[in-house]
Structure formats: C-alpha cells, structure tokens
Chains A and B, each alone.
Chain A
Amino acid sequence: MSGTKKSPWIIHYDGSSCNGCDIEVLAALTPLYDAERFGVINTGNPKHADIFVVTGAINEQNKNVVKQIYDQMLEPKIVVACGACACGGGVYRECYNVSGGVDQVIPVDAYVSGCAIKPESLFDAIVAGVEILEQKRQALKKSNKAKPNISTKDKA
C-alpha cells in the first residue's frame, strides 16, 4: 500500500454551489465524522493535493479557475464531483449562468449524489476514489522510468 493510499490529501473548490455541500465537506473533517483518522487532510495548495473535491456547478467565471487548479495538481490525481450541482447542474441546470456539471471542464472519477451531500457519502467517494488513484499511480510508475540524470565521473 502506497503512502498516497494511506493518506490522500484533498483540495476543495466551491464552483457555484449554495454552500450546503461546502459545509458538509468541511463537516466531514470535523470531530463527528473525522476524516483525518483515515489520513485525509485538507490542503489549500494544489501541488500538495491528490484529490480535487469540487462542489457546485460550472459557469463561465469559474471555468478557468477549476481548470487551473486541476492543471496545477500533480499526477496521479483524481476528481470528485460533490453533490447534484457538480454532477450535472442540479436544481440550477436551467439557470442562464450555469453550464452544467464539472465533467464539462475536467475529467471526473467519482460522483457524489445528494442535495446537499451527506458526509458519509463523501467518505464512500473518497474510498472509491483512492482505489482509482492507486491504479493511476501504478500505471504512472510503469510508464515513467526516468532516472536522475547525474554523473559522478570526471569528464575531463
């Protein structure tokens, strides 16, 4: 078992959600649910994170922000779409400023249902997501066999 699997770090971005899912994502980290006992840590730095948790639907304003955060994250990485809005627009899908779910901008690995989500269902998604993360890591290990390019020989 790899370190990533034992302790996946998450980064959370609120797309255009109503806060309902955001506070539930935070509630999952606090004492009643305590995701930290499984090694899940919330970070603000995309470079540190393995799991990108997005709540809320995508609109023109936040499209690039979501994309930028995703691009900054290092491989292997997975995306969890949290709540009905992030999955496909939810109650807002007919609004003029909502273009739909997160999967329109970045590839999504796990979908969490509910409006708002329950912390338990986020746990399920993280557990399922960690398996995908592990597969991605194994694949990456096979393809990336680069060794450090250093030399100790005297070239002169």
Chain B
Amino acid sequence: MSKRTIIPFGPQHPVLPEPVHLDLVLEDELVVDAIPRIGFVHRGLEKLVEKRDYTQFVYITERICGICSFGHSYGYSECIEQLMQIEVPPRAQYLRVIFHELSRIHSHLLWLGLMADAFGYEALFMHCWRLRETVLDIFERITGGRVIFSACNVGGFKREVSNNQLAGIVTELEKLQQEYKTISKAFLEDSSVKNRMVGIGYISKKDATMHSMVGPFARASGLAIDERLDKVGAYGELSSFVPVTSEDGDCYARCAVRIEEVNQSIAIIKELSGKIPDGEIMNKPKGKIDKGALAMTTLEQPRGQAFYYAKGNGTKFLERMRVRTPTSQNLSGLVAALQGCEFADVPVIILTIDPCISCTER
C-alpha cells in the first residue's frame, strides 16, 4: 500500500461559491475516502419560528437559500395551508408552479455555468449566465426582485400576473430555448467535455437507493423519483409528466438529465400559461394555528426532494418547523462517488450533485 496523504478541500475554494470542507484521503492520485465537514453556514433558522409568526416566517424560509428561494416559500406555504386547511385559489396554484419552474430553469442554467467553469470552459460559463439573466429579468419585471422576490405567501400568490405578461414570458422562453440548444450541444457533443465526464463518479442504481439520493443526482442513476409525480397543486393539471432519467449514473448522465429538465420546465410553463384559469390569487389566512396540528409536505426543488414539517401550538407562532433539503440527502452519495476517482476530477464530481450548502445547513 502506498502512503496516504490528506488534502483539505475548501472551505474557500475557487470552484465553489459556498463554503464546504472535505478532507480528501489520497493514495498517490487516487481518492480513497472523502470526509465532509459542514457547519460554516449554519444560522439556526428553524428556531426563528419562535420569534416570527407564520406569515412573517415566509420571508425567513425564502432566505434558507437564494437559489431555490421561491421553492422554499412555496413549500412552506403549502405546509401551513395544509395545517390551517386553507383553500388556495386555482390561479395562484398555477402561478406558483409557473414561477417554481422558472426558478428551476435559472437554477439549472446557473449550475451548467459553474459546471463549465469547473472543466475549464470560461466562455461557456459566461454564455450560460447570460441566458440565465432572461429569467432574472422576468422576475424583476413582475416582482421587483431578481433572486429573492417574496411572491409567494401563505394563502396564495402576492403579485397578479396578467395573461398578456404570461404570453410575454412564453415568448421570451422560446427565444431562450433557441440559444439554449446551441449551449446544450457544447455540453453533450463536445469531445473534451465528454472526456471529462463520461464514466466519472459512477453511482449504480443500487447505491443510489442505498444512499437515499434524490433529485437529478438520483434520476441520473436510474431512479425515477420526482415529487412532481404526486400531482400536488397545478402539477395535477398537466396532461402528462414523465421524469427525465438515465441509466448511466456518471457525471455525463447527470449533466444530460439537467439539460433536458430545462426543456421540460419550459414545456410545463407553456402548457400551464395556456390554460390558466381567471380569478382571485389570494385567500388571506385568518386566526391562529390549532395546538398539536401537524402537517408534512414535499416539493421537488431544482436539486431534489425537499420536505417540510410544521407543528402548531395554539398561537400565531409555530411550535416547530423543519426542512429537509436535497443536498443533505445527497452528501453521502457524493462521498460514494468520490471514492476511487482521480484527484483532478474532484471539483467536477462535487459540482454534479449541485451542492447547495446554505440549504443543507440553514
């Protein structure tokens, strides 16, 4: 056996915008083990429910993570609505799904950019982020915020979006899709990109189940799990929904799955904005939450399944609120994917799980 070396990776590292620390145990150039250390971003958000009432807390959940910001407010609102048995107007449900899918597009484009940067394609990184600005412009025009925009609240949706505006969004997305085709070609057909990703960081379907992986990371290993299949909210109105999966389980498959998911999201937005019903968008919640009332909901975030739990205590404040986020599920899968890889491949493999540390640590 050759000598083992431990190389620290992070918390401040050029490929990751967020702090996470990994101790990489190397034998020559091969990674034998990876020991993650987290806690740099822990803030203790869940305990803030004691100081903010359930409507104010929406703004806190939005700030669990700046990338899946809308998704968190959506998931939390759904949970409280279940807790208080509030009916959400159909138009608000459609708008929520449309905005959630827009968030998925911007999140995946952001990830594609970081991925391009990880394997050294800086121009491609710039192009991905340029396309992403289209979605941010839509957000800014409608809500006033670019990344955190407080559009969702308990009981419905806060900004009225006219049918004309929705048609405008669809036109812009169609334009985006044209350019996106060229970019996805660079990811999927370029031979040097393939060399960096095909067969790297392989996870079998069995391992994916064993590590309870979620989201595109699991779907790329052949697990067809997607919370959108549960048909909650306006997802039930879709004519058909089949999650994107791949059997290959390597970095290339994860990239391909995410690339296709952007097209899928555009199709969902197109379909829903075509048949959105008119009417109210807000059903304001009134009163207090019953003591001992419990609610649990799940939501498919860009990175995978997120789980929300809330418990009432007879006041306007919650007794307990808990979020289980996709990256915390995927970390053990990441360690498995890193074992046996070459040291130079580490950044690419870490990025393919699309880590969101600020979600994980809250």
Residues of A at the B interface (CB closer than 8 Å) are: 12-24, 26-27, 30-32, 44, 56-57, 59, 61-62, 65, 69, 90-92, 94-98, 115-116, 118
A34 to chain B, nearest CB (A): 9
Cβ of B171 under 8 Å from chain A: no
Residues of B at the A interface (CB closer than 8 Å) are: 11-14, 17-19, 39-45, 47-48, 51, 59-60, 63-67, 69, 110, 113, 125-127, 129-130, 133, 136, 145-148, 356, 358
Kindly list 8 other residue pairs between chains A and B, CB separation below 8 angstroms, not including A18-B64, A23-B110. A19-B66, A23-B147, A24-B147, A44-B13, A62-B19, A95-B43, A95-B45, A115-B63
Q: Which of A14, A24, A26, A92 contacts B19 (CB 8 A)?
A: A14
Contact B146 A116, beta carbon cutoff 8 Å? yes
Q: Which residues of A contact B136 (CB under 8 A)?
A: 27
Interface centre among A14, A69, A92, A98 (most CB of B within 10 A): A14
Contact B17 A61, beta carbon cutoff 8 Å? no
B59 to chain A, nearest CB (A): 7
Alpha-carbon separation in the docked complex, A81 to B202 (Å): 40
Which chain A residue has the least Cβ–Cβ distance from B117? A26
Contact B63 A18, beta carbon cutoff 8 Å? yes
Interface centre among A18, A65, A90, A116 (most CB of B within 10 A): A18
Q: Which residues of A contact B17 (CB under 8 A)?
A: 12, 14, 19, 22-23, 26
Alpha-carbon separation in the docked complex, A79 to B13 (Å): 19
Q: Which of A18, A22, A61, A69 contacts B42 (CB 8 A)?
A: A61
A-B contact pairs, 5 of them (CB 8 A): A19-B18, A91-B63, A96-B44, A97-B43, A116-B148
A137 to chain B, nearest CB (A): 25
Secondary structure of the A contact surface, majority rule: loop
Which chain A residue has the least Cβ–Cβ distance from B67? A19
Q: Which of A12, A21, A69 contacts B66 (CB 8 A)?
A: A21
Q: Which of B18, B44, B60, B146 contacts A98 (CB 8 A)?
A: B44
Contact A20 B147, beta carbon cutoff 8 Å? yes
Secondary structure of the B contact surface, majority rule: loop
Contact B148 A20, beta carbon cutoff 8 Å? yes
Alpha-carbon separation in the docked complex, A44 to B67 (Å): 22
With A32-B130, A65-B12, A115-B148 known as contacts, the answer to whether A23 contacts B18 (CB < 8 A) is: no
Contact A65 B11, beta carbon cutoff 8 Å? yes
B147 to chain A, nearest CB (A): 5
Contact B18 A22, beta carbon cutoff 8 Å? yes
B356 to chain A, nearest CB (A): 7
Contact B41 A56, beta carbon cutoff 8 Å? yes
Q: Which residues of A contact B358 (CB under 8 A)?
A: 14, 16-19
Contact B12 A69, beta carbon cutoff 8 Å? yes
Contact A31 B66, beta carbon cutoff 8 Å? no
Alpha-carbon separation in the docked complex, A16 to B360 (Å): 12
Contact A20 B63, beta carbon cutoff 8 Å? yes
Q: Which residues of B contact A118 (CB under 8 A)?
A: 146
B63 to chain A, nearest CB (A): 5
Contact B148 A62, beta carbon cutoff 8 Å? no
Interface centre among B18, B19, B66, B133 (most CB of A within 10 A): B66
Q: Which residues of B contact A20 (CB under 8 A)?
A: 63, 66-67, 69, 147-148
